[in-house]
Amino acid sequence: MTERLAAYAQRLFGLTLTAQQQAQFAQYAAELEAWNKTRANLTAITGIEAIEIRHFLDSISVLSGVDVPHGARLVDVGTGGGFPGMPLRIVRPDLRLTLLEATAKKVAFLRHVADILNLTDIHFLNARAEEAGHMPEHRERYDIATARAVARMPILMEYLLPLVRIGGQCVAMKGESAARETDEAANALCILGGQVARIVPIHLPDVAEPHYLVVINKVAPTPREYPRRPGVPARKPL
């Protein structure tokens, strides 16, 4: 498994995985499958090859669409089983990572994985994005906010942009609806201080459906009233 993942990472994204990083990915996949069967509903994607392509390779594709500075503060919102945040931290040990997840069982899994992989200095936040966006230690503190399979763009921007500093970026990992959802988010971006930078196509091996990185620049402060109360952004998108 690890040799295949390393070959894909090098060929597609120009990333060289060390032996230690390959071992970490192998252990991560094993723990994901074990916990998924017995302790927590972490993913519908099972099987080592599917995990390496649809979780690990997909996650590290973020580095092909965004220039991530050394030592950047990155928050992964609605991270679930740790995607894309944990694979990014494996390949970029310099990242100062916060994993934001509302489900306690999933946070327990993330803590377990970080411990067995010896990934230190990761912050785990068991909260909703609407809550985190008003916490002084998290509001407009991050260089990059990422999210995968969390919500449609008009809703997602209310989750992400309050967490990102001016000059930082949001990265939404999307499928075929990327362009349409981005158009639908025009009003939300205007209100929340975001501006579309680019939409980057991502091609994964043996995956037919399209993948895109929607990159949003934070160009102005987010008004203090946003994000709204938990549940409101989803019920009443901007």
Instruction: Say what the pLDDT of residue 166 is.
Output: 98
Tokens of 14: 């120009």
Instruction: Say what the pLDDT of residue 43 is.
Output: 66
Give the three-state DSSP class for 186: helix
Measure Cα distances from 135 to 5, 80, 95, 131 in Å. Answer: 37, 21, 21, 7
Instruction: Say what the pLDDT of residue 48 is.
Output: 75
Q: How far apart are alpha carbons 18 and 24 in whole angstroms?
A: 10
Instruction: Say what the pLDDT of residue 36 is.
Output: 77
Instruction: Say what the pLDDT of residue 37 is.
Output: 73
Which CATH fold topology does 68-235 show? Rossmann fold (3.40.50)
Instruction: Say what the pLDDT of residue 149 is.
Output: 84
Helix %, strand %, coil % for the chain, to 5?
45, 20, 35
Burial grade of 130 (CB within 10 A; 0-12, 13-18, 19 or more):
buried
Amino acid occupying residue 48 = I
Low-confidence ranges of the chain (pLDDT < 70): 1, 38-46
Tokens of 146: 């990422």
Instruction: Say what the pLDDT of residue 117 is.
Output: 96
Domain boundaries, the chain: 68-235
Q: How far apart are alpha carbons 133 and 227 in whole angstroms?
A: 6
Instruction: Say what the pLDDT of residue 1 is.
Output: 57
Q: What is the DSSP string of 70-134?
A: TT-EEEEET-TTTTTHHHHHHH-TT-EEEEEES-HHHHHHHHHHHHHTT--S-EEEES-HHHHTT
Instruction: Say what the pLDDT of residue 174 is.
Output: 96
> Per-residue pLDDT tens for 153-178?
999 999 999 999 999 999 999 999 99
